Chain A
Amino acid sequence: MTDPLGELKYPGESKLVPEVTLLPVSPRRLLATWSAAPGSPGHNGNGRRKRNGRRRHGGKESNGHYRLRVREVSGVDILEDRCNRQWVYELGEGQTGCMIDLDRPGLTVCAELIRSSRANGKRPLARSRRVRMPLCEAPSGDGRIRWMICEQQGQYP
């Protein structure tokens, strides 16, 4: 959807460092948004997935200058192969956020906003913190059960 407030500008943004934020929407879906500081894309649209791991997916080649790279940092091995997959999204001009669909629930991911230009090559503009996606079911393993007694400011009768 087009941003109806696309023209709205806030003061002091030029002094702020660009930032990428991730919000887990469901076990397999993630929202990524980034600030519109100088050097980052402006307003809205949708990302187009370009690459998944070492394999190329469909979609046009990039003709824009910004990319969002989402990396899995779960730190787990699957079939003796360390999971370090990544998904790269080409961002349209003025785009401010996109939905990312992951293939499994419970992944730990982080994202990076990258600007590529002929002069400077690929330059990371901002990194998000790591985000753990929710699981679709109760976590496996029993886990140690801990009990505690707690009283917040004597509020309970």
Chain B
Amino acid sequence: MAGGYLSIVLHAHLPYVRSAGRRPDASEFWFHERARECYLPLIRILDGLQRDGVRTRITLSLSPTLIGILRDPLIQERLAEHVDRMVELSARELNRTALMPELRNVAGTYHLRLLQVHNALVQRCGGNLLRAFAEMESRGQLELITCPASHAFLPGLVAMQPQAARCQVRLGLDAFERAFGHRPAGFWLPECAYSPELDDILGREGVGYIIVDGRALEHASPPAFHGVHAPVYCPSGVAAFGRDRTGAWLMGCDAFGHPTDPAYRDNSTDIADELPSDYLRPFMPDAGVRVGTGIRYQRIGGENGESRSYARIEALDRAAQHAERWMRERMGRAQSAAGTMDRPPVFVSAYDMHVFGYRWFEGIEFLDYLLRKTHFDQQVLETITPAEYLGRHRCNQMTVPAASSWGKRGYFEEWVDQETVWVYHHLSRAARVMQHLTEVVAADHAGGNGKGRADDSGGNGDDLSSRALRAAGRQLVLAQSGDWLTMMRSPEQKSYGRERLEQHLSNFARVAWQIGAKRINAVEIEALEREWPIFEDIRTDAYR
């Protein structure tokens, strides 16, 4: 038996971004950037680990909105076009830097990397990343889980309207099942935000385990006997794994996943900010918007007269050192805990997937080195997924985890403040109205006057009122996304977050009025279905 378990959990999420126009807009480029720098490189390194016989167990959480993006044929097509264009840009960069030796090496690295990404997308995945993830799950490398439908901040939603939280959980699980053909064992809570009121909903929806912040177990009632080193069962039977806060940061990165080591690549400078528009125009979205190309030539350090040019070999060397230190630090803690526990401690290292490769360029290689070192260079730690752990250690303490999140100060201040009071007010009102409309439509289906028992199929049929109810439900689910709250705190994304929230709430209200007045505009419902082709099978009965 291992001396300790290492459970790496990566959470990948993007809000639903899909351009209705012919060419993708800037928000869809967010997806392109992450696919190019995180998802496809991850697939490449996992294939490499499999080829070299490295035992790897990673948990990957894919949000339902990201699954919706990855399943969309139009977005798949545009991603392939984007990668093609980036390969072409990197080839141009090779020519442009031909007489600049320091830059030329880095340009070569980018060109090679983009060719690998292109191969991973076209040859390995056939344009469909979900297929590759499913295959990795079937061979035991990955454990796939999901999260609420639109990444809603669940403690806020459950306090306002428990039915809305239930709908988010149910819809998230349904979307996952539709994409992968089975229910996930675990469920990611956005921002690791947990409140005890969620337990009943999660238990009823059949969730096996969740990841909570370490504080939730440390402040549990009664406190968790093993701290964060073993999971607990909530009263509903859902297992809660505590995120290992003491080592949550990554070597070489700050608490937000931003690289700090001088050898690492500087993410703040991009050729998109430096080169002329004419040169870059073919690679940018419409309307003259400039987005990051991911081609960056500078490193973080170099203030004291040293060269600021990025040196790939040096950066990878530093990533390998950091992986070694990260692993040794957990080995030491596993050995210390060995005498005090009746089982090996589990270290749940949960991260935003976008740290690796996107925010921290060398992060993907860090992960590769870490998994290889854990397999070849030591005997203490074993990688494991939470479901695998529960299969081995079925008896766990039962307690009530405390309300907490992985945000600043460990509670909910990052998502609830004076600026966002109005958001909760609208979400609460809209959810109550949704519940009311669901009952009205169900009563209509029962052929009644609202007094008879509602038909169970109400709202799930193909008739116009059911379609309208689902369209309203879809808009409400999208409005509940926690991303808008996060964006409204960022000066760069504030207006986008607010516009999206207003758009979804306005759409919801418009359709709701039509349902309420029994004057549904079929053309408008069809337009909404076409514009937002996600959560097609939304079941509004969660609101009843």
Contacts and interface: CB of A to CB of B under 8 A. Distances in A.
Interface stretch (A3-11, A62-70, A73-81): A3-11
Contact of B413 (A16, A21, A25): A25
Contacts of B238: 152
A142 B420 CA distance: 38
B9 interface: no
B402 A135 contact: yes
A43 B423 CA distance: 11
B432 A155 contact: no
B502 A4 contact: yes
A27 B413 CA distance: 10
A152 B336 CA distance: 32
A1 B422 contact: yes
Interface stretch (B123-131, B292-300, B505-513): B505-513
A37 to B, nearest CB: 9
Nearest to A134: B403
Interface string A131-157: 100110111011111111111110111
A12 B437 contact: yes
A93 interface: no
Interface in A17-44: 19, 21-27, 29, 31, 33-36, 43-44
A23 B416 contact: yes
Given A12-B437, A96-B425, A1 B223 contact: no
A139 B208 contact: no
B153 to A, nearest CB: 10
B42 interface: no
A8 B509 contact: yes
B241 interface: no
Given A5-B502, A148-B395, A134 B422 contact: no
B433 A10 contact: yes
Contacts of B424: 23, 31, 33, 97
Nearest to A9: B509
A156 B208 contact: yes
Query: Which bucket holds chain A's interface residue count?
Result: 35 or more
B412 A98 contact: no
B421 A152 contact: no
A13 B195 CA distance: 28
Contact of B432 (A16, A98, A143): A16
A86 interface: no
B421 A99 contact: yes
Nearest to B412: A25
B453 interface: no
B422 A156 contact: no
A44 B422 contact: yes
A153 B416 contact: no
A25 B436 CA distance: 28
A4 B498 contact: yes
Interface in B380-416: 387-388, 390-391, 394-399, 402-404, 409, 411-413, 416
A55 interface: no
A96 B422 contact: yes
A95 B233 CA distance: 41
A26 B233 contact: no
A46 interface: yes
A21 B161 CA distance: 9
A118 interface: no
B206 A153 contact: yes
Nearest to A27: B411
Among B155, B161, B394, B403, the most chain A Cβ lie within 10 Å of the Cβ of B403
Contacts of A152: 185, 206-208, 237-238
A10 B394 contact: no
B426 interface: yes
Nearest to A131: B159
Contacts of A33: 160, 421, 424-425, 428
Contacts of B411: 24-27, 134
A109 to B, nearest CB: 13
B410 to A, nearest CB: 9
Given A10-B433, A25-B411, A3 B425 contact: yes
A144 B418 CA distance: 40
Given A26-B411, A26-B413, A145-B397, A156 B391 contact: yes
Contacts of B206: 152-153
Nearest to B427: A33
B387 A156 contact: yes
A145 B222 contact: yes
A54 interface: no
Given A23-B155, A33-B425, A97-B422, A11 B208 contact: no
Interface string B7-24: 000000000000000000
A57 interface: no
Contact of A147 (B160, B397, B413, B422): B397
Given A5-B502, A146-B398, A99 B437 contact: no
A144 B222 contact: yes
B419 interface: yes
Contacts of A36: 425, 429
Nearest first, the 9 A-B pairs at minimum CB distance are A143-B222, A11-B516, A156-B391, A3-B422, A97-B421, A96-B425, A23-B159, A26-B411, A150-B237
Interface of A: 1-5, 8-13, 15-16, 19, 21-27, 29, 31, 33-36, 43-44, 46, 96-99, 131, 134-135, 137-139, 141-153, 155-157
Given A8-B505, A23-B424, A99-B418, 13 more contacts: A1-B419, A4-B422, A5-B506, A26-B409, A31-B424, A36-B429, A46-B418, A98-B421, A134-B411, A148-B396, A152-B238, A155-B185, A157-B391
10 contacts: A11-B512, A11-B517, A12-B516, A16-B432, A23-B412, A33-B160, A33-B428, A145-B397, A157-B388, A157-B391
